Amino acid sequence: MTARRIDMAIAGGGLAGGLIALALHRARPEFTIALVEQGPMIGGNHRWSWFASDLDADGAALLSGFRTASWGGYDVRFPGYRRDLGTAYHSLASVDFDAALRRELAEGALIVGRSIHSLDARGIDLDNGERIEARTVIDCRGIDSAAQLTGGWQVFIGRHLRTPRPHGIARPTIMDADVEQYGAYRFVYTLPLGAQDLFVEDTYYADTPQLDRNALSGRIDRYCQRAGWQGNPVGFETGVLPVITGGNFAAFQAAHRIDGVAVAGTRGGFMHPLTSYSLPFAVETALAIARDADLPGVQLAAMLEGRARQHWSRTRFYRQLGRMLFRAGSAEERWRIFARFYRLPRPLIERFYAAQTTRLDRARVLCGKPPVPVMGALAALVGQGRALERDAA
C-alpha cells in the first residue's frame, strides 16, 4: 500500500466537492488538496442553474471563472396565465465545471476514475490500495439513502437539442405547466443555450421515484413538435431527487456520520427541500470551509454539522409547503399551487428560491396575494407555527 499526506482530502467530485476544492485553492493556494471522484470527470453529467439573487457578491465571485449561460430574465406558464420575470438566471454544465477545475486547481489535485474503498478522519483508502493521508477529510459523496426523511420526488429527463437553424428563443421558461399533468405536478423547463441549442427538460413532482425514460422521452418529442423545434439530440440528463417534507434530521446526520470526518453537499443536508436546488448552498458551504480551513478535522466536522442543523431549521417553511403540495387533493391539480405562487411579488419569489423568506413572505404565500388581511396573516402564522412544532428539528 502506498501513501501520501496532504492538507485536505475531499471524497466525491460532484458540485459540492468541486466548489470546496476551488474555494480552498483560491483562499489558501499553499494548501495541498485531493478531490477524489469515481466517475471519469468532475461533476458527472449534470446541469446546475441558479438565480442571480441566490448568491451574494462572494458567491458570485466564486463562480465567475466558469463558462455559463446567462439570461436577463425568464418566464413561467400555467393554464390561463403567463408571466415574465426580470431576475437574471444562470446555468452551468458539468463539462464546463470539470474543464474549469482542471485549469485552475494544482496538478495532481483531481483524482478521477477511482472508487473509494473507505475513509476515516485521517484519510481516504482507494480501491487500488492507495492511501491518501490528510489532515482533514470531507465527505461529499451524495446520498445513498435517506430513510430518516420523508417526502416525495422530483423526477426528470432532459435533452440537449441542436436545431438546424436558429430557434428564436431568447429567454428560459423555468416552468411551463400548461401541459398534460400525468398524475403529478408536471412542467417543462427550457433553456436556450445558444442560437441553435436548446435544453428541454420534462419534470414531475411525483409520489414515487420511478422514472420511465421511454414515456418521458416521448413526451419531450411531442412537446418539441408542438413548439416547432426540430434537431439532433447531443446530450441527455436524467435525475430522481428527493423533495423533503419532514423527518428526523438528527437520525439522518447520525446515519451519514463518520467520526472526525466533515460532511457537506446533499449528504450533509445542504439543499432546498422543496425545489431540490443545491448550488447556492454548495457555494455558501464552500466559502465557509475556506474561511475555517485551519480548523482540525474534528472541529470542522462539528462546524458543518452545526451549519446543517441551522439550515434544516431555517428551511422548515419549505418542508411545510412540500407537505401541502403532496397532500393537495388530486395530483392533477398541484399546478394551481405554483400558479398562485407566481402571482406574488418578484422579490418574494427571489427570496423563496434563495431560502430566505421573511415572516411576511410566509404569510403572503399562505394567505394569498398582497395586501394580506391582517387577521388572515396572523392565522396563517399561528397555523404555520403549529405545523413547524410537529416537524422534528
What percent of the chain clears pLDDT 90, i.e. is strictly above it? 88
Q: Do the strands 33-37 and 3-11 form a parallel or antiparallel pair, or are they unpaired?
A: parallel
pLDDT by residue (tens digit) across 60-104?
999 999 999 999 999 999 999 999 999 999 999 999 999 999 999
Confidence of residue 4 (pLDDT cuts 50, 70, 90): low
H or E segment to which residue 339 belongs: helix 335-341
SS3 labels along 191-249:
EEEECCEEEEEEEEEECCCCCCHHHHHHHHHHHHHHHCCCCEEEEEEEEEEEEEEEECH
The pLDDT assigned to 3 comes to 56
Q: How far apart are CA 175 and CA 198, in angstroms?
A: 15
Q: Where are the alpha helices (DSSP H) in 81-196?
A: 94-104
Q: What is the mean pLDDT of the chain?
A: 91
8 Å CB contact between 160 and 193: yes
The pLDDT assigned to 376 comes to 43
pLDDT by residue (tens digit) across 339-384?
999 999 999 999 999 999 999 999 999 885 443 343 344 344 444 4
pLDDT by residue (tens digit) across 111-143?
999 999 999 999 999 999 999 999 999 999 988
